[in-house]
Structure 1
């Protein structure tokens, strides 16, 4: 069954439109990625059925759509359509009370454009897109609410009939080596009208952006028709779109629209005749990401384990999947999993149902599927072991993906970046080289196409049973040792140096150094181009590049912490799990404990102000209750005096700028923090000493606390006298 509905996922109806109120909220889910990035795995199983933290990808997408208020979803199936349809018909989605799941099958569509054209052609009175719809891929994981976004899209459409699509974007997490290091995607450059949020330019940079001095070329006409343009090079395209029905008809009228972004979006942006418009919607603390390659598979899996995707996490029942029990350090374990006492299962790991882990095993930052058997003295780090895998004694597996039914014989080693497809056997003591992709299916001598048209029967295990594809196979013997079974696929010519970009393995140090050096070289100027971030104004007098000010890192971190705290309050998350989530944010943004303390206290006090209150006494009660309930979360990050002083200074800042109604309560709330052992006497007295030399205007809250501070000093002197 779907996860319980959140507040933002209510059914959307228009108060002033009877026609819209009758429309069912609908979505089109593309269950085919139309790429070959997951080969050889997707030769045998569709990507949407591959597991993320032991749950098929499509379940995350369907559960999110259902909880966000979607009532009917059309699942378009092409590659491995039989497997997808069979799965849906035997799952709880088939009889779900809140979400009608309908499948559309086509074996002739080789692109997203073909799929949307086919859907448009198949429209009938009983099965059709009735109005605005959500367009999403079945490999998308999100928890964002859709109600406000759909309402925003519909209201904009009323004002401007040419507004046919709203794209969801999200600020990328700050990273020293660009967004590509996290999801393995191409660098994205977009230009947006800062007032209307209309998309003006969209460019995925497939070449070395740093070689161009960190700049992007824009058409001069863009500035002629827009007084100002906001440029971004730090946005993530979430691949979630709210579309008007005209989108389907545009694909029907333009057969050169194959790819959703490279063809359709760019085509709309340059089409001056029809005048259609695309707008953007930026999300903040919500989660949204697409599993586009093996690196993003690794990233999204880790985000699920670290609970960024709540409520779609391993210990929640959604889509009919059995939930796991979460323990300390974010370790998820099935109730019937058998772990040897000498086994070491480390933080951020998942162990599935019916799995057995032997003596002396070391498992860290890894996902182990259902029905696996792991021998003794095995090391598994940063890897994904799917279902019914057998790993014999003494094996080493680091940053690898191991599919269902694989057998790894004693002493074998998988180097970083290895992908073992279904039922492969690695011979005893064999070392599989880094970045190798291995399958029982032989590799085609020539690349057949850019599209993922895989019609293999997953139970066959041989290339002879491929149907719908005429592949010229290269005849080779098994390359995994005398007792192994499988073929190591060769990397395509020219692509060997790029394997690290899309792998589950960490980025090599030499590549990190190259990227860092390239970023240092980005300071070069070129009059023919404009900077890739900031606001460009038509008078060209100046360029505001404050968008990427380093100080913004803390601002984004603070917003993420606030979102995490509010989710913890709303969902009743335990303090220990809240600490786990904030620790992951701390690592992502490279923050200190004091930064976490300040951001958490800000979130707590803002929540107190936002809660209903009609007087200062009620506001004080709100603040006191929140501190009492969440003192364990805040206290985890204020163990040192400096961290406690940071909380007091953050409180001062809030009272002066964003939450002025807390100002008269400063001394009272500080006393509560002291009573609850969040801040200690030394921190308060040191803060008072530092403030003593400030200007009178900065002593407002110090003066308010004079009685309390004097009481602390007197109590301290009495204790000293007693000690003497």
Structure 2
């Protein structure tokens, strides 16, 4: 658009932006530059490992496409040929408005090396998304990208925006549910600028030190240890040049982010964008693999879920209780497939076999009387009769002979054979490859070659040879198998524990931490947090300059991480998403039930959390008077009546709802206080609460102080009417018989 002013032409700013527009680009790192997925990643790149029966990289590419990224450069080094071959035959090549180009390297040993090489290729021409190929997300980029661009207009030093979200601690260990290190971040609450970043691996015994200059230069600082780094970054082109100018920058967080935060000369700034209802997480270890797999099955990642064809043809269907399966499986009538389980194409399941909370891949053969719980069975696996697996990962082509057992935390790499009746000890890792004698750094390339002392399995070795526990003469020349390590007829080596011992194995495993070790892990994960030259803060505290004191009494600070609080927040977020996205009640029930399992909560906890969410929705709906609020409550409870009643199977849950409402009126939602009796009556009329629950609640308050009986007194007339209804029922019971009594009683409940 051209505008004339004073005889001169001027191109408008919008037109200039249109002319200068470059496609939104993305850099996807297909190398993790770590060894947490060994021994599996010695044979296959991490991004091609199946995640709920789809390669990890497909989830990342599907999100990038949906988020509006038009050009993606996939950097691959370790097993680069496998990545290039896969992408070349995938649906991602040839997509309109979405191009995928691979950049190959054979000598990069870190993310820093990768970004320096991409800079040399001169392919990035504007802001870009930096992401790892093991990241799953369904967030919208629109707001975060707009915030980044607006900041760039005002301040050219704003070179990066990091995506973060509230972390969800594990209910049993008080550690991150993803098995990652505890993260400390200092953020300017007004500008969202990141001022401090440190994970627990970088400091000693939970002690962190904040420079007083941070407080001098920033009026307010929010210190958080309850945030999760999603490893999704919006970057300006300067980020690539900064890596090129600083060869010390190898790791994205430990070196680059922390380096910029302490650099006073250049003045570059990093900001954060926090997401709330969306999903984003990175698969960093086996525990996060397990957690994110469950999140996908429980549909937190929608539309990236098993029954939506986001990466190709999909024949998987969602059945009852969160069970996914295709029609093309062979299942015995006596076999039981439990909730939150996925079964792939071409798999057969024998008699009396039980599978629950697990993923089974394509082309698997599972015998009779097999028990599989909380495990991940990849493709073309054979499990003979009588085997037992709990919280294990079994890679492609594995054979478990009859009666063999996998204890919790076991990892079986590709084509391993477990001997008959052999019990693989907990947390063992078994591979056809011998364990490297030299433990390299966590930033080494994850591929096996002669220089590292590891020999790849020869391509001439057939699957049938492996399944029979035998090797061809040619392969036996290059590798000697310690068959006794995995039982008679078994093939594979049991690797010794990594440096750091059992604690690291427990923290990163797909298996729950053993009960007898739980106490010491909790203590290890809850070291007291000390802040040098500053006051000690609870999680997510706000620090002000005038609060700095050396006289702070550390005993006054308590760290309370109540799992019920996290659970209630998760339920509320689930409910609000259902409201805004018009989600069916059955799907809400499915998600809340999965949360209940995850947090180990009771049905009463679910009832209270759902009721709180419904009432909070009513309270947050705009209203101008208590009478209008009362009408809103009636409308909301009517709409979600089915959901409320589902979680009220007995009087205990109904009483919990009354107690929750009483708590809300006294604390978080005092606006409901004058409406307590009316709301109680409404819930009774809607058949959500029974008169017996109301009377039991009132009777429990008889010996309480007057301050605790405020709402009982307010509801006195209604309680008396409920009591009269009960007496009437008893009277009819004494005077009536058979069908007449049943009809009268039914009418009484319908018309109180």
User: Same fold judged by TM-score > 0.5?
Assistant: yes
Distance in 1 between the 2:17 and 2:689 partners? 56
Tell me the secondary structure at the aligned position of residue 397 of structure 1. Answer: strand
Distance in 1 between the 2:622 and 2:212 partners? 51
Distance in 1 between the 2:109 and 2:529 partners? 42
Distance 1:408 1:718, change over 3 A: closer
Distance in 2 between the 1:513 and 1:243 partners? 42
Q: Which residue of 1 aligns with 2:146?
A: 151
Q: Is 1:196–2:203 an aligned residue pair?
A: no
Q: Which residue of 2 aligns with 1:408?
A: 400
CA drift of 1:391 comes to 1.0
Task: After TM superposition, list the pairs within 5 Å mapping 1:521-540 onto structure 2.
Answer: 522=528, 530=536, 533=539, 534-539=541-546, 540=548
Contact 2:169 2:175 in 1 (8 A): no
CA drift of 1:297 comes to 1.1
Cα deviation, 1:358-417, whole Å, max 9, x if unaligned, reads 112222322111110011122222211100111111222222211111111222222332
Task: After TM superposition, list the pairs within 5 Å mapping 1:144-543 onto structure 2.
Answer: 144-175=139-170, 180=175, 182-206=177-201, 212=205, 214-320=206-312, 322-447=314-439, 450-454=443-447, 462-463=456-457, 476-478=481-483, 479-492=485-498, 495=501, 498-518=504-524, 522=528, 530=536, 533=539, 534-539=541-546, 540-541=548-549
Distance in 1 between the 2:137 and 2:556 partners? 29
Contact 2:209 2:533 in 1 (8 A): no
Cα deviation, 1:147-183, whole Å, max 9, x if unaligned, reads 2222222233333332222222233223466564632
Q: Which residue of 2 aligns with 1:469?
A: none
Contact 2:536 2:557 in 1 (8 A): no
Q: Which residue of 2 aligns with 1:91?
A: 90
Contact 1:218 1:529 in 2 (8 A): no
CA drift of 1:203 comes to 1.7
Match of 1:597 among 597, 607, 611: 607
Decide which structure has the larger Cα Rg and report it. Answer: 2
CA drift of 1:553 comes to 4.9
Tell me whether 53-62 or 365-374 shows the greater mean CA deviation: 53-62
Contact 2:169 2:177 in 1 (8 A): no
Q: Which residue of 1 aligns with 2:467?
A: none
Tell me whether 317-326 or 41-50 shows the greater mean CA deviation: 317-326
Distance 1:310 1:655, change over 3 A: farther
Aligned length: 695
Q: Which residue of 2 aligns with 1:58?
A: 57
Cα deviation, 1:540-580, whole Å, max 9, x if unaligned, reads 25699999864875554333212211333455544343223
Distance 1:495 1:708, change over 3 A: closer
Q: Is 1:115–2:114 an aligned residue pair?
A: yes
Distance in 1 between the 2:648 and 2:96 partners? 47
Tell me whether 520-529 or 414-423 shows the greater mean CA deviation: 520-529
Tell me the secondary structure at the aligned position of residue 640 of structure 2. Answer: helix
Tell me whether 390-399 or 656-665 shows the greater mean CA deviation: 656-665
Q: Is 1:638–2:660 an aligned residue pair?
A: no
Tell me the secondary structure at the aligned position of residue 182 of structure 1. Answer: coil
Match of 2:570 among 551, 557, 560: 560
Tell me whether 546-555 or 52-61 shows the greater mean CA deviation: 546-555
Tell me whether 579-588 or 352-361 shows the greater mean CA deviation: 579-588
Contact 1:440 1:462 in 2 (8 A): no
* Gaps in structure 1 of 5+ consecutive residues: 1-13, 467-472
RMSD: 4.0
Distance 1:268 1:179, change over 3 A: farther
Cα deviation, 1:618-668, whole Å, max 9, x if unaligned, reads 977765554344322221222344533443455566678877887887776
Distance 1:193 1:611, change over 3 A: closer
Q: Which residue of 2 aligns with 1:27?
A: 26
Distance in 1 between the 2:105 and 2:682 partners? 65
Contact 2:210 2:534 in 1 (8 A): no
Q: Is 1:134–2:138 an aligned residue pair?
A: no
Distance in 1 between the 2:531 and 2:211 partners? 18
Distance in 2 between the 1:17 and 1:626 partners? 49
Contact 1:330 1:577 in 2 (8 A): no
Distance 1:644 1:429, change over 3 A: closer
CA drift of 1:348 comes to 2.4
Contact 1:179 1:187 in 2 (8 A): no
